[in-house]
């Protein structure tokens, strides 16, 4: 499966989870990239090495370990956003 297919699939899963359509622009903002960059990810014309490396690393982990990594990232991101809002 190509990276662009994973990104599209994840986008659709988020939409299904939230029971609403999410524009590319809104999703790009939510993940912290520009609209054009996100569009390039979905088209497969931009596939950053770090993203590929992360997927390769996650592939080496068990499901529970992946959930732990993702949750820790989410917690770190929330703390970072709180710090940004205070400054």
All domains of the chain, ordered by start, with CATH? 1-47 (1.10.10), 49-87 (no CATH)
User: Which run of H or E residues covers position 46?
Assistant: none
Predicted confidence at residue 86, as pLDDT, reads 63
Instruction: Give the pLDDT band (50/70/90) at residue 79.
Output: low
pLDDT tens per residue across span 53-66:
788 888 888 999 99
Query: The pTM is what?
Result: 0.69
What lies within 8 Å, CB to CB, of 83 at 6+ separation is none
Place of tokens 């770090």: 50
Q: For residues 3 and 41, is the Cβ–Cβ distance under 8 A?
A: yes
Q: Which pLDDT value is given to residue 81?
A: 61
Tokens representing residue 16 in the block: 């299904």
> pLDDT per residue over 9-55, tens digit each?
999 999 999 999 999 999 999 988 999 999 999 998 988 877 887 88
């Amino acid at each position: 499966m190509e990276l662009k297919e994973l990104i599209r699939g994840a986008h659709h899963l988020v939409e299904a989870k939230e029971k609403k359509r999410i524009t590319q622009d809104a999703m790009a903002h939510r993940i912290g990239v520009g609209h054009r960059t996100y569009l390039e990810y979905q088209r497969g014309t931009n596939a950053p090495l770090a993203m590929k490396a992360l997927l390769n690393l996650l592939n080496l982990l068990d499901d529970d370990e992946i959930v732990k990594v993702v949750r820790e990232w989410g917690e770190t991101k929330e703390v970072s956003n709180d710090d940004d809002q205070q400054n």
